[in-house]
Each structure stands twice: as structure tokens, then as C-alpha cells.
Structure 1
Amino acid sequence: MDRRNLLMLTGAAATAPALALLLGPVAEAAAAPGLTRLNEKLVGSIESAVRDLREMDDTTGSASGDLTWGLGIWQSTSRVVAQARGHGPLVDRLQTAYIELSEQVGWMLFDARQHPQAQRVYHTGMRLARETGTSLTTHHATSNLVASTAYQAAWLGHHNDAAALLDIASRTPELPSAVAAVIAERRVYAAGQRHDPEAVLRFRDEALLHLGSPDERTPWWATWLTQDSVDAATGRAWLACDQPSRAVPFLSRRVEAASPDYPRDHLHAVLDLADTIHKCGDGDMARDLLDQAEGLIGAVSSQRMAHRYEALSSAIAA
């Protein structure tokens, strides 16, 4: 395989697709009539598939079968988008669904630790948004995609890229309060990863402010965010800032509030708390939490969480 396909893009190469969004759409190139005639059933089926994929991912994590199915839908929808021409509500819905799908499949690839592939899927969604996206719903879905791209960058330690991407996402016009809260929650996590405690506090306040001012425009994909989710991001940020004692109350609340319907989130919260307690010097409690995580990990297909569990097990055993 070409070595370039194995490397994560960083710097201008990583953020260029998102920066292009600030310039607005490019003129549509002249093309032959599309081969796909859109209809309500086709577009509705794609929209339903995106939601089904999100539900599967929330339930089982990035299982190989789910990811294979998701990639197949993404590739098929890519062809539909490429062959569809014109404007109107159905085209707007198709483009929005494709951007939502790019975010979801990109997230699953990220969770499977297939980072270059995730980045390519994210960037493909951004390119569509730049070239054709005009509706507010498309813009808002794009802001979520950019924020997820930033989360991946922060997870991998590409702090400048993460900050630039989140700044771009936050500039999206007429953001619903729930979407603004999602972006702020991502900024909490990114601030912790770059060891910026003042930004952690600022963006936590911003996320809670938006959550406390709901409007009627919440997209379906933003309903996951709650104060418990912001607590989790805050705890992870303090952990990353090497201030584990500040992380404990946030992560403890997150573990207590974790729902069995979302086993990966539950596992993530338990691992975070185990890491935090270990760094606070309580090895016995950390091992108890690790035992709890071991009981959860069999129900979750997440290479990202499995890798975290193995690394933490070695650290606690040492």
C-alpha cells in the first residue's frame, strides 16, 4: 500500500477541507443529466439507514459486521449523491443524510482505530458540503462532522488541528442550541488534551449554557448530549490536564448515570474513572473498577476501548 495512505494528515492538509467551508460553495460544474432520479422512498431509505447505523453503533460499538455494512451504505450513497443533479428539498435531504452518514461512518472507523480511513471519510463529507451544501440542515450536519473530526485530532494529540477545526465548526450560521452545545463539549475535551485548564472551564460553561437554553431545532443526532455527557468531557479534560483529583467527581457522576443501553459509553466512563483513581494513588479501587470494566468489555466491539483497557491494565498491574 502507498505509504501516504497509512499516514494521518495534519496541519494545513488536515484542516483544508474544513477551511474551504468558510469560503462558501463553489460554482457547480456543468455536467450531464444525473443517472439517479431522486424520489421520496430512496431518500427516506437512506435517512433511515443512517439512524439505524447510529443505533447499532451505540449498542455494540464499531463491530466489524456493522462497520462493513456502514461502509457499504456510505459507498452506495456516495454514488447516488454523485449521480443526483439539481436542487430542491429532496436534494437537500440527500446531501444532509450523506454528511450525517459520513460523520457516523467516520466515527465508527475512528472507534475501530482505523484513523486514516476515518479521516478520508470525514474529508469526503466536507468536500460535498463545500461543493453543494446550501441548506441550514446541511450546514448544521457539517458542523457536527467537523467537530467529530476535531475530536479524532485531539484524541491523537494533533492539538492545533483540533482547535482550528472546532473554531470552524463554531462559526456555522444559526446553530441550534443543542448543536452549539455539542461543539462546546468537544472543545472541553480538546482543551484538556492540550493542557489548557482555563479553556476547560470556559467551554464547560458554554456547553451548559447552550444545554440550558433549548430551542425547537434540535437535530436527531444531537439528542445524546446531556449534562452527564458534559461531566464526562470535563472529567476527561481534568485527567488529561494531570489534575485527577478534580476529575473524580465528574467521572464518578458519569459512571453512576451510565445507561446499560449504551455499553460503550459505560465502559469508557469506568475506564476513565479507573485511570483517574489510579493516578490519585488508590490502587485497590482502581483494580476494582478495572474488574468492572472487564465485565463490560465483552459486550462492546470497540478497538479504541479494548486498546485503552489493555494499556490501563498494564499500568495498574505495574
Structure 2
Amino acid sequence: RAQAQASRAIAQRVAKSAPDLVWERYSLFSTALASLAKGSGVRGILEVNAPLIEEQRRHRRLDDEAGARSALVEQSGAARAIICVSDPVRAWVEEMTGTERAHTVPNGVDTNRITPVTEEAGRVVVTFVGTLKPWHGVEHLIGARALASSPWDLRIIGDGPQREALEEAARAAGVDVDFRGAVAPHEVPSHLEGSAIAVAPYPAPADEADHYFSPLKVYEYMAAGLPVVASALGQIPVALLGCGVLVPPSDTAVLARAIDALAQDPERRTELGAQARLAAEERHSWEGVVGRVLELVEA
């Protein structure tokens, strides 16, 4: 009820500015976009980043699932285009609403804020950026370092509830890890500096459909001109086409071998890093993302 009231209030306030276009990020029970479209005929974009109804039901509590679904159907019906960050999210929206206006447009990256880094001389630094939570699989990265046959160094940028356990795991394995802790978004580029390889070691989900993310970290790695080693899940294989190395999720031994191979091959790192930066500029810049969305609205 509170969400519905907030949606109406937002719609009324936005309508006063007479916008040409409204872009709303999907939230449970919101019908703000639909209200605006009915009241003023303004064109609207609905951005869907996750199957929120499923998330709420599985991980929290959802007392009015029918109401949540009705709101999504109403919003989808009012939107000129529905933008989904991954194919699994698009499939979920289509299943829930029956719409034919859903499109996959993955997340992007600011290629002016994040620019190519320079490897530190004499070292191969392997870097992870993200919150230290179970679904990021950082324990597999620490395990890979313990199994490594090449002398690469591990840097972990970020903090979270798993940090203490990960630090203990590193100590138990005899692995020296540079834990940088939490950093502000604008500081990420400087912490990437000196890196040679970047990693997104997502673990295997119970159901692959659960990996519906469009990981910002992967696009940031690419913008930094880094070769990326990542789990072959969700939208990642599409993003890394021709510019990264894919590994099976939760396979620590294969992850170690993939990183070792790149650590021993500077020419391959340079080649993949250059392709990653080019892909970030040509396919994943925020300017390009917005351009594709506007084309869909005008279609």
C-alpha cells in the first residue's frame, strides 16, 4: 500500500515537469510509469535489473504476489520499451507479462572514468573487485592462488561479511593476499592500476537461471584494458566474447590453470586486454547503452 501511494505521488510530481520521456527502474508494486502514461501519454522506458518477485518470495517475504505481478503487467503494458540487463531477466519478464516489447540491453561502463591501466613491472597482479559475499566466489580465487604454479600476486578490492573468513582461508592456505578493503567508486580506477589480470569467479548456482546479473565489475575490468578470467555464467560469455577466458563455475583447479596460463603469457594478456578495451568502447559504454535504448523507444 505504501509503495502504491508513493508511486502515485511520484507520478504526480514528475507530470508537473511535462517530461518528453520517463525512465523508471522496476521496483515491486510501483505503477508510476503506468500512471504517467495514462495521465499524459508520455513515453516510458521500464528498466528491469532482476526478477524481484522471485527474489522477494525466495529470500524475504511476499504477502501479495498477485498484486506484485499485476503491477509488473501494468508497467510493462504502459512502457514503450522494456529494457532487461540479461537474457534470463528478459525471459522472466516475458513469462510474467506476455509482453513482446522486452529487450536485452546489458549494463555499461563509463569509459572516460575507467581507462587502461599499466601492469606493474616485475609482478603479475591478479585483481578482484566487489563485495565479499558468497555469490562472488572469492574463496575459489584464494584457492586458485594456493594451487598456482606461477608466482602471481592476488589483490582483493572490497569488503563484506565474508572478509574475516576469507582472510582466515588465505592464512590457512599460506597465501599472501592484498586485501584493500572497501573503496569509493571513484577510487576503483586507481586501485586497478598495476593489475595484469582481473577475475570474476562466480560460483555455480543451484539453477543457472539464478545467475541473471549483468556484472558491472566485468565491464569495468574491460574498460581498464584487463584480460578477464570469469565463470561461464549468465550474460558473461556474451560480454567476454573474444576478450576473456571462461572457466566452469566453482572449479578452483581450472581457475588456477587459466590464471597461470595468462600469468605466463604477457603477449596474450596484451592482446586480450586490448580487445577488452575495444569491446568496452564499442559495445558497453553508457553512451552506447543509452543510444540503443533510445533506438528501441523510437522504433
| TM-score between the two structures when normalised by the length of structure 2 | 0.28
Q: More strand by proportion, 1 or 2? A: 2
TM-score where L is the length of structure 1: 0.27
